[in-house]
Amino acid sequence: MNQHELDTINQAAAEASKPRKPLTPEERAKRLAQSYARTQGMSEYNYETILTYYFRQGFTEEEVLPRVTVLTENAWKHLGRIVEKDAEPCIITLWPKNRKTGERYPRACSVYHISQTKVA
């Protein structure tokens, strides 16, 4: 690595370690709404993983509907539900695009069944 690359990494690390200002309730609601909207646009790439995971847990086909009864924690929050503390998630892989390069990269994501949540 050359000195320029090291400086760039150090600058990014310094920016990431700065304390963030708390979100206002409006900003938090907006982010939760965006999180829920992203779940509605997902591909069917992870359906098999989700279905297999919850079928092994004893759920039936009617109970496991990705994007309806299986969502991320933030999507459940947007819908007025919270994930229970001891809930074990199903881990799926997302492939978001890097905003600068446009390249896709793998990212793990946790999803929960509605039975693992409760009304907030």
Q: Which of 94, 104, 81 minimizes the C-alpha distance to 50? A: 94
Would you list the domain boundaries of the chain?
23-119
Query: Rounded to two decimals, what is the model's pTM?
Result: 0.71
pLDDT in tens, the chain (120 residues): 678 777 777 776 766 667 778 889 899 888 888 888 877 766 788 888 999 999 999 999 999 998 899 999 999 999 999 999 999 999 998 888 888 998 988 989 999 999 999 998
* 113 three-class SS: strand
